[in-house]
Amino acid sequence: MKKLEYKVDVFTGIRPSGGLHIANVIGSVNTIVTLQKKEEIGRPMVFVADLHALTDAEPKDTQKNVIEVVKDYIALGLDPKSCDIFIQSELIEEISGLNLYLSRLITVSELLRVPTLKEKIKKNMEVSNASVLLAMYPIMMASDILLQKSKFVPVGQDQQAHIEIARYLARKFNKAYGETIPVPNILTLGEPERIKSLSGDGKMSKTNPSGAILLDDPIEISLSKIKKAQTAFAGEMTDSLDSLLKIGKFVANEDEKEKIEEIVKRHMNGGNVMGEFKQVLSVAMQRYLKDFQEKKSKLSDSEIFKIVQDGGKIAKENAKETIKEVRKSMQFEYIS
């Protein structure tokens, strides 16, 4: 069997949902930022999945959100010098092409069995009002990944079934037309930390802003949410306090981390120390948010356009080469 070469070491996509909160950073953004520093894993390529956003009921302000999310990621530590960043819709021709070629290798019922779609259909829609694009979501993800000949795709648990489909489609393609596309691997990131809402109701989420630390909010608003946040009675550990501690340790410097550990010990021994903990948390959070907002405000739209243009060139070149090979394998070689 021919040995197929990978082109991109680490490849992942982010949805341009806009308005990140601290739980998004801890549960998701931070893993990509950390991966970029691990040289043994290789150079990452990150893209903003604006075409996938079209599967949302009503995508709004897509372009603004795309620019915002790139700024967020860079302000949170993604370094455009150490990775390539591009916008998915710049590759619309190549993605559409590969989507079509891959679509004949998977059945409608296989797509309807994908857990994410099944869940959506169970929760708030029916097959009769699910768009074809929504059903094609995993095929489009496979196209993103396979066009770049990606080696590792780091994703959370919720996306793993989609990567399995990309692997399945690569194998099926190679079986049908000869070895062409290297099969990508899932880079498991483990269970993401689940951070609770500060107001105690469910997980921290944009849909419940009173319990969420939104990175772009005026800092005083976030600090007042911390003041009101649920904790635990002396001597007890609750999910709320556990989440608050995770947030605290994430934004704290080394000294503050030690202090938090020491406060927790006193708390578990029955001490009344939650006020003290919130004080440390507020100081650390204030510094974290200030630093983020300052970094973000220094990034201009034109700088972002330049970054994604550079990344886009590399991604486009890779995608064009893959499409060419795919067409050759399928014996569609009318254009050279």
**Measured from the CB of residue 132, what is the shortest distance to ligand AMP in angstroms?**
22
Binding mask 44-83 for ligand TRP (x = CB under 6 A): -----x--x-------------------------------
Q: From ligand AMP, ligand TRP, none, which one binds at residue 318 (CB under 5 to 8 Å depending on kind)?
A: none
Q: How far from each other are the two terminal CA atoms of the chain, in whole angstroms?
A: 26
Please give the sequence-ordered ranges of beta strands (E in DSSP) within 173-247, or none if there are none.
Answer: 185-188
Min dist. Cβ of residue 12 to ligand TRP (A)? 5
Structure tokens at 71: 């700024």
Q: Coil, helix or strand for 12?
A: strand
| Residue 193 binding target from ligand AMP, ligand TRP, none, CB below 5 to 8 Å by type | ligand AMP
Tokens coding 199: 């107001």
Q: Which is nearer to ligand AMP, 5 or 58 (CB)?
A: 58
* Cα atoms found within 13 Å of the Cα of residue 141, Cβ hemisphere only: 29
Interacting residues of 13 by C-beta distance below 8 A, sequence separation 6+: 46, 47, 48, 49, 52, 88, 141, 144
* Interaction of residue 153 with ligand TRP, rule CB under 6 A: yes
Q: Which of ligand TRP, ligand AMP, none is residue 192 near (CB under 5 to 8 Å by kind)?
A: ligand AMP
116 near ligand AMP, judged by CB under 6 A: no
Does position 200 interact with ligand AMP (CB under 6 A)? The reply is: no
Angular region, 3: left φ>0, alpha ψ -120 to 50, beta rest: beta
Of 292, 40, 35, 64, which is closest to residue 156 (Cα–Cα)? 35
Applying CB under 6 A, the span of 11-19, 62-70, 172-180, 294-302 interacting with ligand TRP comes to 11-19
- Of the residues 42, 59, 77, 156, which one makes contact with ligand AMP according to CB under 6 A: 156
